[in-house]
Amino acid sequence: MFVQLLPIKGSLKNNLSFKNKIGKSETTQRIIFMVKKSIQILLLLFSIGGLQAQTTYQNPIIRGMNPDPSICRVGNDYYLVTSTFEYFPGLPIYQSKDLVNWKMIGYVLSSPTQDPLIGCESSVGGLYAPTIRYSDGTFYVVCTNYGGQGSQGSFYVTSKSPIGPWSEPHWVNSWACDPSLLFANDSIYYTFPDDKGHFQMATLNLNTGKFNNAPKIIGHGLGASSPEGPHLYKIKDYYYLMSAEGGTGYEHREVIQRSKSPWGPFEANPHNPIVSHMNNPDNPFQAIGHADIVETPDGWWLVCLGIRPKGGNYHHLGRETFLTPITWDENGWPKVENKSIVKVELPLPKLPQHKWEKDSIRDNFNQPSLALSWNFIRNPHSEDWSLTAHPGFLRLNGSSKNFKLKDSPTFVGRRQTAFSVSASTKISFSPQKPNEEAGLVVRADDKNHYDLLITMDKGKRVAMFRQILKGDVVGVHYKEIPEGDVLLCLTATEKAYTFWIQKEGQPSMLLDSAETKYLATETIGGFTGTYIGMYASGNGFANTNPADFDWFDYEIDPEKPYDWSK
């Protein structure tokens, strides 16, 4: 914003000559008064500009892989959970007071008994589509675990606090995905799709963890493929059944039906689909759907998933969480304005703004536990990592396992939450054999990842860049490096990753680059997004030496060109 200072009336020469008539002191006071007034007006204008800058928010509201959002309200707080598939701990819980600024406060499932994942298929197994609800002092999360050894399909867990501790799973002996709960009429309605185009429901007995009655078909999809993600709400005199359909890709959409009875029959909303971008191919957001709604003092709001394709129809960050207001027409039907479009920028909810403290760029690994941003692949083995073996470092003991197994390789990673990021780490690692490796990895799934690793080649310690796509090694590049600690670095843009190595105090060396589209869901399939993290493996044998990571930096929109020598 351009602001022009108000001029002092008359020239300085005139004011100085005028002092002989009004006195030096009075002239000085008048000049000071005019300057102060100008400064006050300037500050006021900046203040107004600042207020204007705070009147809107930008989608998505939770970035990086955070699909299938479900939301509930407790007083002035809002809690949201998303799917995690094979990543552990499972089901992050985010908290907000204004629907726009969110902070991760914990995980629903933080032990292997709660979240068995060993054996689940990469990017399509594990935890699908949770629902979070609150009733009479207790939080409930219902979800489905696919393919983890020990999993039994759908389950629910409970807690008196959103940060836990959460109960062990109550398995409901159902493999149906996307279950949801409604507390109404002194009953707990458990709704789910049956993979045949129908929605079924039973009432749940919390004392036994079982259904009171056999599930009954209450409704069906509205004509598109793969009806899923149902949520049932009781709002005034109606029961509203909201669901996704059209598949999880570019035809994704959200529809609503209603009935006077929770058991149906249901009639369709004339405003359907309530949100969808399937007819807007040029919109920066696509695959909008799988939604949940919540009532606030500012009316009703909808959270949903969506993607941000780049470089054509390629998205690699995964499905993210979006927010849009909904209104109700004179007949009691909900709708999203602007032809069901979720806009990039929208007016802030009329709720007191509450911004959380930003995470620091650097993690020094000097806390007794890992930060909440870090995840493992499936259930980690306790002997593979430590924060105490070398205090102030994250130690990874490379095991015999690697990404080729449906197990837990020695990997600690975090979601990539923006297109433009830099990530770097300082590593101490002395491999003894060619099979031993440790370093930095950009992972889409077990078969598709970019690796910047320290290893041995022809008897020399080297930095290796390796592309593994669809399970095959498609490119390897080595560069000999000196003994001692080194920095491993990457920068990311919408279309490419660039990988660097550096000896502290020396210029950085470019090793290689790779395109983001080869890690995109449109290329490799699945339901997850990219992670950036630290990795160690002996590829069939345990590493001779551990890999010690002194720190890890993660920065969004870094200085360009990024200067690693700083």
Catalytic residue ranges: 68, 228
DSSP-based three-state secondary structure for 48: helix
> Nearest 5°: phi and psi at 212?
-75, -25
User: Residue 347: beta bridge partners?
Assistant: 56
Give the gyration radius of the chain's Cα atoms: 28
- Say which residues have a Cβ less than 8 Å from residue 260's Cβ, sequence separation at least 6: 237, 238, 239
User: Residue 479: beta bridge partners?
Assistant: 463
Is the preceding peptide bond at 162 cis, omega within 30 degrees of 0? no
Q: Are 421 and 492 in contact (CB under 8 A)?
A: yes
Q: Is the dihedral of CA 361, 362, 366, 371 positive or negative?
A: positive
Rounded-to-integer distance, Cα 529 and Cα 63, Å: 11
User: Residue 422: beta bridge partners?
Assistant: 491, 555
Rounded-to-integer distance, Cα 140 and Cα 312, Å: 40
Give the number of other CB atoms < 10 A from CB of residue 343.
16
Q: Which amino acid is located at 298 in the chain?
A: D
Is the preceding peptide bond at 273 cis, omega within 30 degrees of 0? yes
Q: Is the dihedral of CA 205, 210, 216, 221 positive or negative?
A: positive
- Say which residues have a Cβ less than 8 Å from residue 61's Cβ, sequence separation at least 6: 99, 100, 102, 303, 321, 322, 323
Rounded-to-integer distance, Cα 202 and Cα 135, Å: 18
Helix residue spans in 264-389 (DSSP H): 337-340
Question: Distance of alpha carbon 69 from its chain centroid, rounded?
Answer: 10
Regarding beta strands 460-469 and 448-457, do their DSSP bridges make them parallel or antiparallel, or are they unpaired?
antiparallel
DSSP-based three-state secondary structure for 26: helix
How is residue 337 written in tokens? 């304005």
Which among 49, 35, 30 has a CA at the least distance from the CA of 6?
35
Regarding beta strands 286-296 and 320-328, do their DSSP bridges make them parallel or antiparallel, or are they unpaired?
unpaired
